[in-house]
Amino acid sequence: MNGQNNLVDMPLSEFRKYGHEMIEWIADYLEKIEELPVLPNIKPGEIKSKLPQSAPLQSEEFSKMLNDVDKIILPGVTHWQHPNFMAYFSATASGPGILGELLSAAFNTNGMLWKTNPSSAELEETVLNWFRDIIGLPQNFRGIIYDTASVSSMHAIAAARENINLEIREKGMSGAPKLRLYCSEQAHSSIDKSAITLGIGMEGIRKILVDSKYRMIPHELEKAIREDRANGWTPFCVVATIGTTSTTSVDPVEKIVEICERENIWLHVDAAYAGVTAMLPEMKVFFKEIERADSIVANPHKWLFVPIDLSILFTRRPQILKQAFSLVPEYLKTAEDSVVENYMDYGIQLGRRFRSLKLWFVLRYFGVEGLQARLREHIRLALLFAKWIDEDSSFERLAPVPFSTVCFRAKPTGCNDENKLNGLNEKLMNVINSSGKLFITHTKLNNIFTLRLVVSSIRQEERHVEQAWKLIKESLEKLLSENNIEN
């Protein structure tokens, strides 16, 4: 019996039945996830070829879908929830986070206005204030949830644009001065995409040199601003990063902010990955003077066990953001507009899911101390792995480890040819990843093919990092012995 025979929803008896099955399926999946290959062993097109080419005309039983999830979907999933996923910035969804997302889908509200879900508006405000306090931002900061850090940063840069030139909203960029944004060479690609989107253009970004630890050099920033002003550019925004994507390096915000204040330039801090560590007293050293920044992005969906997507933009100048984006057509006016915050006023997206629920559940279920303990453990494990690298003469560490990401490469004794080393490390990564036992990714640092291993999954324990290290070492040995045979 299914929903085809009437014109409403799936009968609730059926929802209960399959809902319980789905909960069991998910628990089983998470329970046995270590038996699955972390990266699927499939070729492009393989999943597609197993799916019908057109939608069914008639209703299908829900059990068929669950069956196809097992047979077709599961073999092609890259398991982000797998403790051996140590690639990119690994991001995991905790149990309470998943249940929060479920509840949010069931309410299915669009919190564009206070009136369209007061609980969403007020829970978002409350939980973001909690989070602001936890990471040590002062009370003049206000948070807004967006989907991704890309979108959070784009809004911050749009606010910076509004801040420098109030006429852009009305007149557009066409007659405006040439705006210049500064970030380090190591800044995330989303900053470039923001510049493209906002009409600033790639040439409107000036990438500042980094030091040997991949941190923006403040003196170079100063010089660039001076040069640009002399050449008719209008500097309007600096994006500093706390935890860059390649190496998790930390730009010296405390020096950059002085330049920004002196020059009247908006400072946006991209702490999408590392921002959550500001809740650890011992990590405050990386967040010096952060309260003088104009805006900061941190992503609980990256390293705080909240399901993707939930990114927070904090700004102490929300009015500027509102000035840039608020626009209230008649059909969205409500009687409460003068006394409430309508979140739609702070961005391009009118549709807003009830995302604060999942963050609320995660913060309460683990508690601040529980979250701190987990972050500390990840950092401890990453430093342990870094120590193993440092102590092994066949490996080399390629960047400091301020958080939980280790950049390294294999460098067997006597092998000094950079091209060969790059080839060896790429091969090593591919061998490891195709084993299905571990997923790590790479970056390039000064043209060096660099392996990255990240510890930030809620399912990662010391044994996983140990196994990873063992696999990496064994794979290298195997590669080297094969090469010897070939030569």
Other Cβ atoms less than 10 A from the Cβ of 122: the count is: 14
DSSP state of 115: T
Q: Does 392 bind a copy of itself (CB under 8 A)?
A: no
Contacts of 93 (CB under 8 A, 6+ apart): 81, 101, 305, 306, 307, 308
For a copy of itself, which residue of 35, 54, 416, 419 counts as binding (CB under 8 A)? 54
Q: Return left, alpha or beta for 310; rule: phi > 0 is left, psi -120 to 50 is alpha, else beta.
A: beta
Q: Does 337 bind a copy of itself (CB under 8 A)?
A: no
CB of 369 to a copy of itself, least distance (A): 5
Q: By CB under 8 A, which span of 63-71, 250-258, 416-424, 478-486 interacts with a copy of itself? A: 63-71
Site residues (CB under 8 A) for a copy of itself, limited to 235-254: 245-246
Q: Does 35 bind a copy of itself (CB under 8 A)?
A: no
Q: Does 150 bind a copy of itself (CB under 8 A)?
A: yes
CB of 178 to a copy of itself, least distance (A): 5
Give whichever of 109 and 435 is closer to a copy of itself, judged by the CB atom.
109
For a copy of itself, which residue of 297, 304, 363, 421 counts as binding (CB under 8 A)? 363
Q: Does 36 bind a copy of itself (CB under 8 A)?
A: no
Tokens of 95: 């149990």
Give whichever of 168 and 432 is closer to a copy of itself, judged by the CB atom.
168
How far, in Å, CA of 423 to CA of 429, rounded? 10
Q: Does 103 bind a copy of itself (CB under 8 A)?
A: yes
Q: First vs last Cα of the chain: how many Å apart?
A: 66
Contact (Cβ atoms closer than 8 angstroms) between residue 287 and residue 278: yes
Q: Does 148 bind a copy of itself (CB under 8 A)?
A: yes
CB of 481 to a copy of itself, least distance (A): 24
> What are the backbone dihedrals phi and psi of residue 295, each rounded to the nearest 5 degrees, phi first?
-155, 155
Site residues (CB under 8 A) for a copy of itself, limited to 119-138: 119-120, 122-123, 125-127, 129-131, 133-134
SS (H, E, C) 345-383: HHCCCCCCCCCHHHHHHHHHHHHHHHHHHHHHHHHHHHH
Is the sign of the CA dihedral 278, 284, 286, 290 positive or negative? positive
Cα–chain-centroid distance for residue 14?
Answer: 36
Strand partners, 235: 180
- C-alpha closest to that of 321 among 74, 457, 144, 478: 144
CB of 418 to a copy of itself, least distance (A): 16
Identify residue 24 by its one-letter amino acid code: E
How far, in Å, CA of 420 to CA of 343, rounded? 54
How far, in Å, CA of 228 to CA of 335, rounded? 48
Total number of residues binding a copy of itself (CB under 8 A)? 173
How far, in Å, CA of 95 to CA of 420, rounded? 44
How far, in Å, CA of 247 to CA of 238, rounded? 20
Strand partners, 297: 270, 313
CB of 423 to a copy of itself, least distance (A): 14
For a copy of itself, which residue of 360, 385, 408, 469 counts as binding (CB under 8 A)? 360
For a copy of itself, which residue of 37, 84, 86, 99 counts as binding (CB under 8 A)? 99
For a copy of itself, which residue of 1, 230, 285, 331 counts as binding (CB under 8 A)? 331
Site residues (CB under 8 A) for a copy of itself, limited to 282-301: 301
Q: By CB under 8 A, which span of 177-185, 312-320, 411-419, 471-479 interacts with a copy of itself? A: 177-185
Site residues (CB under 8 A) for a copy of itself, limited to 196-215: 196-204
> Residues 7-26 vs a copy of itself: string with x where CB under 8 A?
xxxx-x-xxx-xxx-xxxxx
How far, in Å, CA of 78 to CA of 40, rounded? 6
Q: By CB under 8 A, which span of 235-243, 255-263, 349-357, 415-423 interacts with a copy of itself? A: 349-357
Give whichever of 81 and 315 is closer to a copy of itself, judged by the CB atom.
81
Give whichever of 25 and 254 is closer to a copy of itself, judged by the CB atom.
25
Q: Where are the alpha helices (DSSP H) in 316-454?
A: 318-325, 356-391, 418-434
Site residues (CB under 8 A) for a copy of itself, limited to 445-464: 452, 458-459, 461
CB of 55 to a copy of itself, least distance (A): 4
**Buried-exposed string 47-70: b where 16+ CB fall within 10 A, e elsewhere:** eeeeeeeeeeeeeeebeeeeeeee
Q: Does 436 bind a copy of itself (CB under 8 A)?
A: no
